[in-house]
Amino acid sequence: MKYVSRREWGAKYPQGSGSIPGPVHGVTIHWEGPHMGAWSHDQCAGKVRVIERFHAVTRGWAGIAYSALVCPHGYVFEGRGVHVRTAANGTSGIGGNDHWYAVCFLSGQGDPFTAEAQAGVIAAVQWLRAKGGAGHQVNGHRDHHPTECPGDVVYRWLQTADFGSKGTAAQAAGSEDDMTPEQDKRLAFVEAEAKHQRSAVKSLNGKADRIAKALTELAKALGPTVESAVESALADAVVNVDVNVSKAGE
């Protein structure tokens, strides 16, 4: 595993507010949400620090929300780390923050899910199993909340990806006890509602992306000082859209 410790990427805020209550069923996969484009690996640590600052200062959480983050180059950045309660999955439904670790792919809408990133996500899950006692299940943020996260490409990949001795996420999910007919009906209703909400979120994300592009073009016309200020404001505003939309709580 290409591991980057908190010290190596320059973490400034605490790891979290306490230990994860458990039992830890598994790992939930996220993405950052908005389109981030391409960059060299030497910029990745800086992007993780921006996310940390957003979570700690703007959101008021106890440090970065994720257990780990994976960059497009396949490096695994330690977030809150093992045995620490996450703030990324939310507190309702299946108790995401109390029973699941969170791994974030450092990219978003329209960005490629590289082979290196796929290997990094698998490595992060295996690390959380080996060092943090994570269970065999792997799911997406949308399994906790009506959100686009972690994107259709990543979510489809999760269904067949091999995370080790326990097989794929789909196989792990299939090992659960059979549900009653009433539970099946309830699940179908929840899934339909979640699909509707994801569609609404996708529409809002598209509108936000178009507004951001328009502001960027306008800023370029007004000169480098304004352009720099607008870029900084946009980065701070949308750096963690998936968490904002789903209202994940500390």
Q: Which of 156, 139, 136, 151 is nearest to 201 (CA)?
A: 151
Neighbours of 100 (CB within 10 A): 31
Neighbours of 174 (CB within 10 A): 9
pLDDT tens, position by position, for the chain (250 residues)?
Answer: 999 999 999 999 998 878 998 899 999 999 998 899 999 999 999 999 999 999 999 999 989 999 999 999 999 999 999 999 999 988 655 578 999 999 999 999 999 999 999 999 999 999 999 999 999 999 999 988 888 999 999 999 999 999 986 545 544 443 333 444 554 445 455 455 555 555 555 566 667 667 877 777 787 778 777 667 666 665 555 454 444 444 444 5
Q: Which of 135, 131, 53, 146 is nearest to 92 (CA)?
A: 146
Phi, psi of 82, rounded to the nearest 5 degrees: -85, 150
Q: Which of 240, 216, 225 is nearest to 59 (CA)?
A: 240
Which residue type occupies 198?
R
Q: Which CATH class is domain 3-246?
A: alpha beta
Please state the domain extents for the chain: 3-246
3: which strand partners? 76
pTM attached to this predicted model: 0.70
